[in-house]
Structure 1
Amino acid sequence: MILILTLAAPLFGGLFYVAALQSALPPRRWALLGCLFGPAIFPLFMARRRWSLVCARGMAYGLLRA
């Protein structure tokens, strides 16, 4: 079990690093969190990504247009 966690930590760190680069978030912070907590921080990452988008565009901008 510890071997699996040891091998999966850099994988999740790398995945969160790339996703943070694409989302204009601080990549080192998200890579570290990805290494420490794995996929458990995915909801937090998505919320931060959404908040960053709302701050950049403003509250009046609709993201989903019908």
Structure 2
Amino acid sequence: MILILSLVAPLFGGLFYIAALQCALPPRRWALLGCLFGPAALPLFMARRRWSLVCARGMGYALLRA
């Protein structure tokens, strides 16, 4: 079990690193969180990505226009 976790942890770290680079978030922090918590950090990542988008564009900007 520990062997599987030790092999999968760098995979999640790399995935979070790439996703953080694409979303202009600090990549080393998210890579570390990905290595430590694995896919459990995904909701935190999505919330932070959404919050940074709202801060950059403002509250009055609609993401989905009708």
What TM-score bracket applies, with the shorter chain setting the length?
over 0.9
Deviation at 1:30, TM superposition (A): 0.1
Runs of 4+ off more than 4 Å: none
Q: State the identity as a percent.
A: 88
Distance 1:51 1:63 in 2: 13
Distance 1:8 1:64 in 2: 36
Equivalent residues, number? 66
Which amino acid in the other structure matches residue 20 of structure 2?
A
Match of 1:35 in 2: 35
What's the Cα RMSD here?
0.4
Deviations along 1:6-63, one digit per CA (max 9) or x if unpaired, are: 0000000000000000000000000000000000010000000000000000000001
- The TM-score normalised by the length of structure 2 is 0.98
Structure 2 unaligned residues grouped into runs of 5+: none
Deviation at 1:64, TM superposition (A): 1.1
- The TM-score normalised by the length of structure 1 is 0.98
